[in-house]
Amino acid sequence: MSLAADDPLAPFEAAVNYHDWTPSNDGAQVISADMFAAARTSIADWPNYAPTPLYQLPALARRTGIAEVMFKDEGPRFGLKSFKALGGAYAVQALLAEHRGEAETGAENITVTCATDGNHGRSVAWGAQTFGCACVIFIHAEVSEGRARAIEAYGARVVRVDGNYDDSVHAAASAAEENGWYVISDTSYEGYMEVPKRVMAGYGVIAAEIIAEIGDAPPPTHTFLQGGVGGFAGAMAEAFHQHWGDGAPRMIMVEPELAACLYRSAEAGRMTEIPVDEETLMAGLSCGVPSVVAWDILAARAGGFMTIPESMVAPAMQLMANPLDGDPSIEAGESAIAGLAGFVAGTRKTEIKQAIDLGAESRVLLIGTEGATDPDVYAALLAQSG
């Protein structure tokens, strides 16, 4: 066996794409500090609320030649296994609060719906069950049975449609139109901004917990965040900017090569849709159309865009589960590790390190956005050999 085969970081030598981006920093504040605060107050009141852990990975920092790696693990979030627990469920709660007291639209007469590749639908279904309304969730052809069952477990009806994620978005929208249901989408488009903004305000709880834990210590210098439609990263970018201003970490977006709608938007210099012809293993990131709200924030706040190949997914999950000497073992699902993979790959490419000023003094923040949301898929990828 060659030395490289023994090196758990060797898979990150593979080629990645990097597109440099200078944040315009002009964009209007699309999610206000008040919206973030309202979401935080509501969510902190939910039963079993607890901040998720922020781990230090000193061995990984040493091996990648930087000062510090922090990893926030969203796996334990409200027992739903992903950060998405915060967004959809909060938007459902806020919608029902708006309709409280109206005879014909009381919660029991309201049906919420959305399209999902798994995690967002689970959150909306959980929110509907918790706050007391009906729920129908649309999934596409490739969503695993395990993920469908997890949504049904919260009492929602699950409808599987032909095609990909974008097709399921259209199916949910038409069904809502026909039946008078409320769409709780995590992605925004012209004419549909308020609900996705609330979803993103819910995600802001993650940023608030990180900010509270870091306290008066210096903020991270870089954060590598995975992108699907961009809502998660956009929420982090905006919340960090509101707190740290120009001292906020440089944010590098990381997407699968197979679904790089934000990367292509950066290349084109404007929001761009792409066809998703082949599903990535990183199911939560398999999106061809950016969220309008998210893109506006990212154009103003991002500091670089990357794509990673499929070959890095299993090695990155394995690196978290079987870590380097002394680092904690963390259960991180397929879509959780894109930021980590982008970071490690970046440390092995001089041009990227130079472009983003990544070096011995850097303190990097990563956010593991899900645990083993589909235990069968997780086990199969952990067992895969390189």
Ligand X SMILES: Cc1ncc(COP(=O)(O)O)c(C=O)c1O
Residue ranges in contact with ligand X by CB under 6 A: 82, 84, 117, 119-120, 186, 226-233, 284-285, 287, 335-336, 369-370
Q: Is the dihedral of CA 358, 245, 299, 201 positive or negative?
A: positive
Closer to ligand X by CB, 154 or 232: give it.
232
Least distance between ligand X and beta carbon 242 (Å): 18
Least distance between ligand X and beta carbon 219 (Å): 22
Closer to ligand X by CB, 16 or 80: give it.
80
Known catalytic residue at 81: no
Least distance between ligand X and beta carbon 375 (Å): 15
**What is the rounded distance in angstroms from the CA atom of residue 228 to the CA atom of residue 356?**
22
Closer to ligand X by CB, 23 or 227: give it.
227
**Angle at which helices 145-152 and 375-383 pack, to 10 degrees?**
150
Least distance between ligand X and beta carbon 103 (Å): 36
Closer to ligand X by CB, 117 or 331: give it.
117
Least distance between ligand X and beta carbon 334 (Å): 8
Closer to ligand X by CB, 63 or 122: give it.
122
Label each residue of the chain as H, E or C.
Answer: CCHHHHCCCHHHHCCCEEECCCCCCCCCCCCCHHHHHHHHHHHHCCCCCCCCCEEECHHHHHHHCCCEEEEEECCCHHHCCEHHHHHHHHHHHHHHHHHCCCCCCCHHHCEEEEEECCHHHHHHHHHHHHHCCEEEEEECCCCCHHHHHHHHCCCCEEEECCCCHHHHHHHHHHHHHHHCCEECCCCCECCECHHHHHHHHHHHHHHHHHHHHHCCCCCCCEEEEECCCCHHHHHHHHHHHHHHHHHCCEEEEEEEHHHCHHHHHHHHCCCCCCCCCCCCCCHHHCCCCCCHHHHHHHHHHEEEEEEECHHHHHHHHHHHHCCCCCCCCCCCCCCCCHHHHHHHHHHCCHHHHHHHCCCCCCEEEEEECECCCCHHHHHHHHHCCC
Catalytic residue among 84, 166, 186, 197: 84
Known catalytic residue at 277: no
Do the Cβ atoms of 226 and 234 come closer than 8 Å?
Answer: no
Catalytic residue among 117, 166, 186, 374: 117
Least distance between ligand X and beta carbon 1 (Å): 33
Least distance between ligand X and beta carbon 355 (Å): 23
Closer to ligand X by CB, 82 or 221: give it.
82
User: What are the residue numbers of the active site?
Assistant: 84, 117
